[in-house]
Amino acid sequence: MVRGMKSPPRMKTDLLITGIGQLVTAEGAEARRGRRMRELRVVRDAALAVAAGRVQWVGRAGQWTPAYGSPVMEVDLGGAAVVPGLIDPHTHAVWAGDRLADFEARSAAAGYEEILRAGGGIRTTVRSTSAASPEELARLATPRIERLLSSGAVTIEVKSGYGGSTAAELAALEAIERLQAEQRAQHGARLLATLLVHLPPSARSAASFAPNQSHSQARQQFLARVCGELIPAAARRSLASAVDVFVEKEAWSVEEAERIFATARSFGLAVKLHSDQFHSLGGVALAARSGALSVDHLEAAGEEEIRVLGQSSTVATILPGVSLHLGLPPAPGRRLIDAGAAVAVGTDLNPGSSPLFSAAAALGLAVRMNGLTLAEALAAGTVNAACALGFNDRGRIEPGCLADFLVLHSRDWRDLLYVMGANPVAEVWIGGRRRKRRPEKREEATERGKEKPQQTETR
Ligand code: NIG
Ligand code: FE
């Protein structure tokens, strides 16, 4: 499933961007694999022409000819570097409540999986998210999306997954639908919804929703509802374009994921996987043989998984924010690329494993933690991330692509990956329009006010 590409618009130029000190982009519609991830086009003293929201022409400024009459508007960037708008292919931006108590407990040596087994972690977020309305969820997610946008992400995948029941999962997808419309109207930003089948019921919650059944029967019943109610409803209402499953010891097995995939595909939805985060259980092989768009995480991937992804069209999406926040071994980004894989990078923005609000920072972390070169990181956050979402019309500055690009504070594109703790992105252009800067909204303090008392000890 590849969507989006058009031919370069043959019509009056709406916008001519000049004074581009350096324009850097990957080229070609397919995912970059292996050493091809390092091949970037670097144009010095560049210009970029836009018509109807798409790139019309790009090259050396001196070579531009007004083939379709003088441009309606001209903007001189005074020597700044320009790169494609980033794509964040993996976020869980819709949640309520917070996980500060988990963070504090982990700082005192509790483990992420241990907290989850005890009914906390993701399950804490499921409790608070399932109690919120779609309106409230969309309101809470707005400043998170806007921070990602400021960091350069112009297409953002947003997953549900903290609902825990058919109704609550659909409510999360409705929140994403609202966000999609609002962000498109206000900033031109493009959001893509994925239905995440995150966790099976815990023994405790199984006892409450199916009192006369064993835990394993309750799990089967939950799965039957996912396949019989949730996926069909999400597909019928066009609330998601893909289904994602979390394969892990504390989550779903490969066999269960396979059943979910079969249902998703029967409704025309793409499939993808959270896999090999803590344990390697066969999810990578499942993703590859199912033609999944991507398989994400891979911190625990070994030789065999690397070999499989080196030969598969499934994109290997790595999430360095998780390794940083949870202290997990970084996913083997370097070895995946050396094996010929197409690697993408995402923030995995979520409250529990990756509170990372910057797509640019995720790429900088992939360089420092996963062994990517600078050029590979740019390809991973642009063209390959677009392919991980099934798009071939973005993540590159080439004729026919969406005119989504970033103007950096620097004259050198490498600052995008180098800068830490400050935003290297000066301007975000989407569909040939500069995103208006407005003061960042505060995250809602009241949300936290509702939480249980803090654990912090005061002495
Ligand atoms: O991508 N691994 C599973 N799911 C999410 C984490 C969700 C959470 O901790 O809230 C992830 O890491
Ligand atoms: Fe995730």
Q: What pLDDT, in 10s, does the model give residues 280-312?
A: 999 999 999 999 999 999 999 999 999 999 999
Residue 122 beta carbon below 6 angstroms from any ligand 1 atom: yes
Same topology, domains 15-83+394-434 and 87-388? Answer is no
Reply yes or no on domain 15-83+394-434 having CATH 2.30.40.10.
yes
Q: Check pLDDT > 90 for residue 124.
A: yes
**For the CA of 90, the nearest atom of ligand 1:** 1
The residues, ordered by sequence, that sit 6+ positions from 297 with a Cβ below 8 Å of its Cβ are 274, 275, 276, 277, 317, 318, 319, 322, 331
Q: Confidence class of residue 92 from pLDDT cuts 50, 70 and 90?
A: very high
Q: Check pLDDT > 60 for residue 2.
A: no
The residue whose C-alpha atom lies closest to atom 1 belonging to ligand 1 is 348
Among 97-101, 367-371, 445-449, where is mean pLDDT lowest? 445-449
Burial of residue 11 (number of CB atoms within 10 Å: 0-12, 13-18, 19+): exposed
Q: Check pLDDT > 80 for residue 459.
A: no
Give the distance from CA 365 to its chain's centroid.
Answer: 15
Q: Confidence class of residue 9 from pLDDT cuts 50, 70 and 90?
A: confident
Q: Check pLDDT > 70 for residue 378.
A: yes
> pLDDT per residue over 386-443, tens digit each?
999 999 999 999 999 999 999 999 999 999 999 999 999 999 999 999 998 666 666 6
Quickly list H helices, 397-458: 415-418, 445-449
**For the CA of 352, the nearest atom of ligand 1:** 9
- Residue found under tokens 């990756």: 354
Give the rounded percent of residues in the chain with a pLDDT score beyond 70.
94
How many residues would you count in the chain? 459
Q: Check pLDDT > 50 for residue 265.
A: yes
CB atoms within 10 A of CB 65: 7
Dihedral sign, Cα of residue 16, residue 17, residue 21, residue 26 = negative
Q: Check pLDDT > 50 for residue 450.
A: no
**For the CA of 162, the nearest atom of ligand 1:** 10
Q: Check pLDDT > 70 for residue 89.
A: yes
What distance in angstroms lies between residue 278's CA and the mean position of ligand 2's atoms? 13
> What pLDDT shows up at residue 452?
44
Angle 368-338-28 from CA coordinates, rounded to 5°: 90
Q: Confidence class of residue 59 from pLDDT cuts 50, 70 and 90?
A: very high
What distance in angstroms lies between residue 329's CA and the mean position of ligand 1's atoms? 16
**For the CA of 251, the nearest atom of ligand 1:** 3
Longest distance between any two alpha carbons in the chain, whole Å: 76
The residue whose C-alpha atom lies closest to atom 8 belonging to ligand 1 is 352
Residue 350 beta carbon below 6 angstroms from any ligand 1 atom: yes
> What pLDDT shows up at residue 145?
98
The residue whose C-alpha atom lies closest to atom 11 belonging to ligand 1 is 353
Q: For the chain, give every domain's residue range.
A: 15-83+394-434, 87-388
Do 337 and 38 meet the contact criterion of CB atoms below 8 Å apart?
Answer: no
> What pLDDT shows up at residue 203?
83
Structure tokens at 403: 């005119």
| Cα–Cα separations (whole angstroms), residue 176 to 161, 233, 307, 446 | 12, 15, 36, 21
Q: Check pLDDT > 90 for residue 93.
A: yes
The residue whose C-alpha atom lies closest to atom 10 belonging to ligand 1 is 352
> What pLDDT shows up at residue 190?
97
Reply yes or no on domain 87-388 having CATH 3.20.20.140.
yes
Residue 353 beta carbon below 6 angstroms from any ligand 1 atom: yes
What distance in angstroms lies between residue 304's CA and the mean position of ligand 1's atoms? 24
**What's the N-to-C CA distance of the chain in angstroms?**
58
Q: Check pLDDT > 60 for residue 276.
A: yes
Q: Check pLDDT > 80 for residue 334.
A: yes
> pLDDT per residue over 139-192, tens digit each?
999 999 999 999 999 999 999 999 999 999 999 999 999 999 999 999 999 999
The residue whose C-alpha atom lies closest to atom 12 belonging to ligand 1 is 353
> What pLDDT shows up at residue 442?
62
